[in-house]
Amino acid sequence: MRWETDAPVLWAGHCHCDSCRRATSAPFTSFFGVARDSVRWSGTLADYVTSGGKVRRQFCPACGTQLTYQSEAWPEETHLYAATLDDPAQFSPQAHYHWAERLPWLAIADDLPKFAASADGAEPVA
């Protein structure tokens, strides 16, 4: 399963929310957003719908790799996992999101802005 897009990245960052941690079995996950209709797929995705039908996570049916996060909160965006890039080193995070939910045992020493939840009109908390 492969994806591609020529759309500009709308935002990029690390998410610390409980939902993402549980979905990825990781202390945080790294995403970036692009226009939803700009993503092209090489195969058929499998869906998992959560949060009362408000969130759709899509994954590769062959290997189980999670590929997208889509939410009613951002109906025009698809959030793609940075680790699915051909070269994940090219990912350039801009901020931490849901900082208020971060795990206390993970020390993060970067200078990126940190938002208590999503950055929609919010000021960084750290």
25-84 pLDDT per residue, tens: 999 999 999 999 999 999 999 999 888 889 999 999 999 999 999 999 999 999 999 999
Question: Residue 48, exposed/middle/buried by CB under 10 A (0-12, 13-18, 19+)?
Answer: exposed
Q: What is the pLDDT of residue 91?
A: 96
Residue 16 has pLDDT above 80, yes or no: yes
Model-level pTM greater than 0.85?
Answer: yes
Task: Please report which residue ranges of the chain form alpha helices under DSSP H.
Answer: 18-24
Angle at 48 between CA 42 and CA 52, to 5 degrees: 140
pLDDT number for residue 123: 81
What tokens appear for 115 in the block?
């938002």
Report d(CA 44, CA 27) in Å as an integer.
29
